[in-house]
Structure 1
Amino acid sequence: MGGLLELRALLDRARGLRLDPETYLADFEDRFWRIGPEGFWKLESLQDYQESGCTSWEAFQGGDWEKSLSLIRESQPDIERQLAKLAAAGIGHRRARVVAEPLSPYVQWELHVLHAKDRCGENVSVLTDDQAAALVGAGPLPDLVVLGDEAVYQIHYTPGGAPDGATRYFEAEAVRSARDFVRRLHHIGEPLQTYFPRAIAGLPAPRP
């Protein structure tokens, strides 16, 4: 069980529970700190999201690239504290970020945010949509969050990329297979610590 079609078939068979945005966040918070050594795994696949409430994203959307980057730098102490708390709790934090090339303006901005997190201990891996398709099969990839052995969430968004809740699965086979799926993508990708200076650092400011 490792391809996209197999994962979709498994989730279709599993007993998923659709959660609205507020219920999803509450459910996530309730489970997060007990996820144990299997840790946190995240797969991000969309090329544009709405990040309302994030001051750096709002500056980026407003066309002020330098302010956007400055706000990311200012957030570094908070990022360090958050990831240090995870490390002290023994929770590994891993993210696979799928990108389409040429990069969308949003992805260029987000990779600056993820670079700040990666330097503080979040293990971020980047792979192209072609690499992902070669590994797990063609087709739109889901956005997934896996909390140890506790649960897997398929994250939903509106057509404009705004958060729209999630479907939660807690059957052991579904959680294990989703974690293995994200792990494979994370493993095949390039570490952000090498991807960022090679592909992102020298780019001109994007136009949102």
Structure 2
Amino acid sequence: MPTYRFPPSQLRGYFLAVVSFVLVVLVIPTLIAATVTPPEPKTEEVVLDSATTGFSEDETWTIEVPGLRCTPNSETMANQAWDCGATLVQVVSTEGLDGVDEEVAMHRAVRGYAYGEVSTAKIHREGDALALYDAPADAIVLSRDGEGDFTDFDYIVVLTGGDFTHAAELIWQAFGHRELPVKAETGVVAS
């Protein structure tokens, strides 16, 4: 009875060449990625800008925040956002809010942008600006009434994460006020 024998393998060299080529093609990009350092994120001065928040493209109302340089963040739902170290600064614009409506919008901003519950925190008013600190969400919300042609508009700024009191103080001062009224509530001792 005849026996069946496998023929000797003749394509071993070709197979090894193809596998080697595939490994080289896959390993080279990995080595390049491991040796190249990613670029530092670009920082910019924080400027609350009505053109970017959707108020008006013809006229703009801007509030510059001197001393606060952060990395722009386009991954939030807010009109403008920056990453300031571990702190996230989000800016939204509202139109036609007066008194109680503005306070309700600030309480709701805690839920919408700080992912907490609807806040019941006390709101502090100083002239044309409001501030609240919501302890459960660990967030500060600042609001500034419009001026000039923008009296119907307001900026609402939500700060979360990290030690946000420094950024909140700089924004509050850019609003034209001195001491952040909710600073004592955050547990940070004035220096």
Which one has more relative contact order, counting CA pairs under 8 Å at least 6 apart? Answer: 1
The answer to which structure has the higher strand fraction is 2
Do both share a fold (TM > 0.5)? no
The answer to which structure has the higher helix fraction is 1
- Give the structure-2-normalised TM-score: 0.29
Greater Rg by CA:
2
